[in-house]
Amino acid sequence: MTNVIIGEFVGTILLVLLGDGVCANVTLNNSGFKAAGPLFIAIGWGLAVALPAAAFSGICPASYNPALTIALFADGTLAAADGYTIAVIIEMIIAEMAGGFIGAVLVWVAFKPQFDASSDLGDCTAPGVRNLPYNILQEAIATFWLVFAIKAACGAFDLGTFGVFLTIVSCGTTFGGLTGYAMNAARDTAPRLAFAILPIKGKGDADWAYGLTAPLIGPVIGALVAVAIYAALPL
């Protein structure tokens, strides 16, 4: 299962590099795409998830998301009979989180002049309205749609990675204004750690009270509910 772990690690690096790179492109000073807008970010994140999924789906599940990995193990898609033991699932989650951290560091390296030119970066990703129980629910709802739609797109409707792209864009345009639609600890909590550690000029608070709750708990709840309902429907 070594290739699986490597695939999840490298794929998550690319996902966060491309996705957080879009956000840096749109928000940092001296970027040619500054203020391109939320639709630009949603499309960019769609590509950031779909392209690594297409590139590495031959050697790994291309989950790149601890919540999705847990859900696919729970519904038997990642079966112990195929080598996906609990130990392997844990290794996959560690690889995804490590990949998210490295991807965020690479974004800082690539955009360092733009980071240095942005004197007030503010805090890490935060909800539009801070209410932690409700923010957990918002992340759960967004992740429910993410996982249910991906299961349908890659299963019943056989849309492949194009279906993944459409799903991410849909999540961004529908739920992006609520919590930033993390839906994935590897693209929120792991980059949040990089934000906390890196010597980023003008940065604010990493906000661990939020980062260790909604982006961790909500996605797992939403993903598990999604696979349970999908399994119960005649699709």
List Cβ neighbours of 35 (8 Å cut-off, separation of 6 or more). 26
- What is the distance, to the nearest Å, from the Cα of residue 201 to the centroid of all Cα atoms in its chain? 25
Inform me whether the pLDDT recorded for 35 exceeds 80.
yes
pLDDT at position 123 is 59
Q: For 65-112, how does the pLDDT look when each residue is reduced to its tens digit (9 = 90+)?
A: 999 999 999 999 999 889 999 999 999 999 999 999 999 999 999 999
**Torsional sign, CA 32, 41, 109, 56:** negative
The string of pLDDT tens digits covering residues 40-63 is: 999 999 999 999 999 998 899 999
Mean pLDDT within 8-22:
97
User: In a 10 Å sphere around its CB, with 0-12 CB exposed, 13-18 middle and 19+ buried, how is residue 200 labelled?
Assistant: middle
pLDDT recorded at residue 15: 97
pLDDT of residue 81: 86
Q: How many CB atoms lie within 10 A of CB 16?
A: 30
pLDDT, tens only, 138-184: 999 999 999 999 988 877 677 888 999 999 999 999 999 999 899 99
Give phi and psi for 158, each to the nearest 5: 50, 50
Give the integer Cα–Cα distance in Å for 49 and 69.
Answer: 15
